[in-house]
Structure 1
Amino acid sequence: MPFLDTTLPILDRLIAFPTVSADGNRACTEWLAEQLTEAGARIEILPDATGEKANLFATMGPEGDGGLVLSGHTDVVPVAGQDWSSDPFAMTEKDGVIYGRGSCDMKGFVAACTALAHRVDATRLTRPLHFAFTYDEEIGCFGGQALTEWLAERGLSPALTLVGEPTTLSVIEGHKGCYEYTTRIRGRAGHGSDPRAGVNAAETAAAYVQTLIGCRAELDARAPEGSPFAPPGTTINVGSISAGFAHNVIAAEAVIEWEMRPVQPGDAALVHERLATFVDETLPGMQATAPEAAIETETIGEVDGLEPRRDNGMRDLIFALTGQNQAGVVAFGTEAGLFQQAGMDVAICGPGSIAQAHQADEFVTRAQLEDCCDLLDRLVQRLY
């Protein structure tokens, strides 16, 4: 049966699992495990602490180091507030376009990988073929971090990783890191008629944000010469600020959600140093009035970027298979940097466009999926 014809029923089933990050992916993961077990793969289901989410790591062919990892995440972003033309959790095809939440980001690739497993002759594989399907990529790459830690604990060292994020099957060799934080400021409430009677968390939050903004010029000046990224240097974004509840009440609490996207080692340390100085200079004055005052930052996730490297076996293998001869960089983050930090050569190449990801009526075209299937078929031939 044609590769695409076996992929589409799997994609249909995957889209039907509402694997929004907040709700978990365990049922989807167990179904994929069943599919890969039927194909002859050796399965590891790796749950998180709640048991509601899990990574899946499956292997075909010989044991040991080397080989290839095909990587994708199974969680998706919410559909709440989006105006869909059809049920987002039911695959719909019209005029060669396949709609559904996750169709391009990135269940299309996961479906093709799962269908591939049924086509592989494991007895002919000379190197391991691994499938890595993770949870919580969309909210901090927590599953990818847990998986690479597990690989390190097992002493398992694959050589190559292909991350099938939607790139319209163009080869991507780099992206910035993504570090996300929530800073909580606690002051003391009081009547607005006497601002000195309390400690205004909203005002402290404003000064904290100004410190973040002040780091931008330093980061711009540190941008690497010849950086392939746009903007070329590390960026900072303040996503939300919330504080107080009335005009005439001193704000006792404030929350700042912010991120930075590092392009090189040392940039994140610079920002943290500037913020530590701010806290050291500001907090004693707050606590002189309100001993309970605090400025605390929670790390939501720190995911390293994918560094473009001169030597990259995964990139060069995709070049050889597709005829492409130039790799690009992207603005969005992926799990690719985690695999690179674990010692693998990594490239990103998958069906669909990132422009469709996270949108209402998300889609991937039949043609893109078919081309992806063809690429995976040819990729496996290199493992025989």
Structure 2
Amino acid sequence: MDVLDILDRLVAFPSIAGKPNADIAGWIEAHLAKHAAQIALLPGPEGDRFNLFATIGPAGVPGYVLSGHMDVVPASEPQWSSDPFTLRREGERLYGRGTTDMKGFLAAALAALPVLAKLRLARPIHVAFSYDEEIGCRGVPHLIARLPELCAKPLGVIVGEPSGMRAVRGHKGKAAARITIHGRPGHSSRPDLGRNAIHGMAETLGAVVSEAERLTHGPFDAAFEPPYSSLQAGVIKGGQSVNIIPDICTLDLEARAIPGVDPASLLAPVRARAETHATDGFRLEWTPLSAYPALSLPRNARLAALLQELTGQAPLAAVSYGTEAGLYQAAGLDAIICGPGDIARAHKPDEYILANELVACQQMIEALGAHCAA
């Protein structure tokens, strides 16, 4: 199967994040079995979701990991021009959910397997495909924890998120949480008998706004846009009717942190402010939603030099979006981003990737194989 055939099969699996993924993981496992020396299908604690890890070449020698995620965001938008889970080609454009983010990279890696398998690899190339990346990188930590039993410590990890096939050395970290305030319902004519949960959230929301403003004053990292950490309230919900005292209000917030700043620490002042209201007749719940650390690979890292050699372009310092690369780096492994497609096409109707981008990615992976065979 060529890269377009493989992408067609991958897109056909509606592998929405947070749902079972045995079908797509099983198909990839069967495809890998034709070429990989070792394959491990790794169930997560949910019981119905799986990570995949496979090795081409000698597993006991340090090599390189090709990392990607099998899940995609939902495709319920009415603006799709065709079935989002049926690959549609118009010229160079290949439309479908996940084509860019990031089944295109998966397809290129799988299409390169026959070439890699024929090489006498002195260093292995591993394939690591995860689940539930799109809802907070929930699957890959379980895969990373198993790496010591699966292979020698890798020399580096290439995370194939869409970057226009230009390597990227850094991204911000992220932490997100949900605050729920419980009050007491009642008729709006007797506010003295109830506890208005929306009113109870007001000071907490104010804390988000003031903390967000404070972060604009630094610390700074010029590699990013904006060059400072950020905080925002993303979703707020509460109330049923204007004449009912709302008894519950929820607020979803997220922080994005420059390297060197713990993203969870940016949420702490908001949580502290919210907890002061628990003594005012309200009940508070704090629910973490997602978290991953920043990525910061040094300019002079050997992995950065390798990707410059493979792509012909100097790596970019940083991008605004986040990836699993920070989690690999936190586990002590050098990691870098490099994959086909443009992040601006992801998470929207009529997502697409270009056929020549897939070819360029496959050629890069095959060039990595030649490097490992040298």
- TM-score class normalised by the smaller sequence: over 0.9
Tell me which residue corresponds to 1:377.
366
- Kept in 1: contact 2:297–2:335 (CA 8 A): no
Retained in 1: the 8 A contact 2:173–2:262?
A: no
The CA distance in 1 between the partners of 2:364 and 2:195, in whole Å, is 61
Question: In structure 1, what is the equivalent of residue 283 of structure 2?
Answer: 294
- Structure 1 SS opposite 2:164: coil
* Change in CA separation of 1:215 and 1:46 when aligned onto 2, cut-off 3 Å: same
1:205 is the counterpart of 2:194: no
- Written as runs of structure 1 = structure 2, the 5 A alignment for 1:43-192 is 43-64=39-60, 66-121=62-117, 124-151=120-147, 156-192=152-188
2:187 match: secondary structure: coil
Q: 1:86 to 1:280 in 2, by over 3 A?
A: closer
Does 2:9 match 1:13? Answer: yes
CA contact (8 A) 2:173 2:263 kept: no
1:242 to 237, 242, 248: 237
Mean Cα displacement is larger for which, 187-196 or 360-369?
A: 187-196
- Residue 365 (structure 1) aligns with: 354
The percentage of aligned residue pairs carrying the same residue is 37
| Cα distance, 1:155–1:365 mapped onto 2, change above 3 Å | closer
1:227, distance to aligned residue in structure 2 (A): 2.6
List aligned pairs for 1:219-298, cutoff 5 A.
219-224=215-220, 226-266=221-261, 268=263, 270-286=265-281, 293-298=282-287
Q: How far apart are 1:153 and its partner, in Å?
A: 6.9
Residues in 2 aligned to 1:269 and 1:137: alpha-carbon distance in whole angstroms = 18
Gaps of 5+ in 1: 287-292
Corresponding residue for 2:313?
Answer: 324
Q: Name the CA shift for 1:197/1:131 in 2 (closer, same or farther; >3 Å).
A: same
Change in 2 beyond 3 A, CA 1:41/1:190: same
What CA deviation, in whole Å up to 9, does each residue of 1:233-257 have, x standing for no partner?
1111211111111212221111111
Shift of 1:77: 1.1
- Amino acid paired to 2:288: T
1:176–1:57 distance in 2 versus 1, CA, 3 Å: same
List runs of 5+ in structure 2 lacking aligned partners.
none
Q: What do the CA deviations read for 1:325-369 (whole angstroms, capped 9, x no partner)?
A: 242311111111111111111111111111111121111111111
Give the drift of 1:26.
Answer: 1.4
User: 8 Å contact 2:274–2:284 — kept in the other structure?
Assistant: yes
Superposed CA offset, 1:2-31 (max 9, x none): xxx721111111111111114332111111
Check the 8 A contact 1:61/1:127 in 2, yes or no. yes
Offset at 1:191?
A: 2.4
Task: Judge conservation of contact 1:312–1:346 (CA < 8 Å) in 2.
Answer: no
| Cα 1:255–1:64 shift into 2, 3 Å | same
Q: Does the CA-based 8 Å contact 1:65-1:159 persist in structure 2?
A: no
The answer to whether residue 326 in structure 2 is matched with residue 337 in structure 1 is yes
State the secondary structure of the residue aligned to 2:169.
strand
Distance in structure 2 (CA, Å) of the matches to 1:120 and 1:95: 29
Match status 1:218 vs 2:214 = yes
Give 3-state SS (helix, strand or coil) of 1:78's partner: coil
TM-score (norm 2): 0.94
- Mapped to 1, the partners of 2:152 and 2:62 lie a distance apart of 9
Cα distance in structure 2, aligned partners of 1:98 and 1:337: 29
Q: Kindly tell me: are residues 83 and 276 of structure 1, through their superposed partners in 2, closer, same or farther at Cα, counting changes over 3 Å?
A: closer
Note closer, same or farther for the CA distance 1:196–1:264 as it changes in structure 2 (3 Å cut): farther
1:310 matched residue in structure 2: 299
For residue 339 of structure 2, give the secondary structure of its aligned residue in structure 1. coil
Give 2:113's aligned amino acid.
A
Which residue among 176, 190, 193 is the counterpart of 2:189? 193
Name the CA distance, whole Å, in 2 between partners of 1:265 and 1:189.
44
Mapped to 1, the partners of 2:151 and 2:89 lie a distance apart of 43
CA contact (8 A) 1:181 1:258 kept: yes
SS in 2 for 1:55: strand
Contact 2:102 2:162 in 1 (8 A): yes
Q: Trace 1:23-42 onto structure 2 (pairs within 5 A).
A: 23-42=19-38
Paired residue total = 373
Closer/same/farther in 2, CA of residues 108 and 268 from structure 1, 3 Å limit: closer
SS of match in other structure, 1:355: helix
Contact 2:203 2:274 in 1 (8 A): no
Distance 1:155 1:38 in 2: 20
CA distance in structure 1 between the aligned counterparts of 2:272 and 2:87, rounded to whole angstroms: 52
User: Segments of 4+ in structure 1 off by > 3 A?
Assistant: 152-156, 264-273
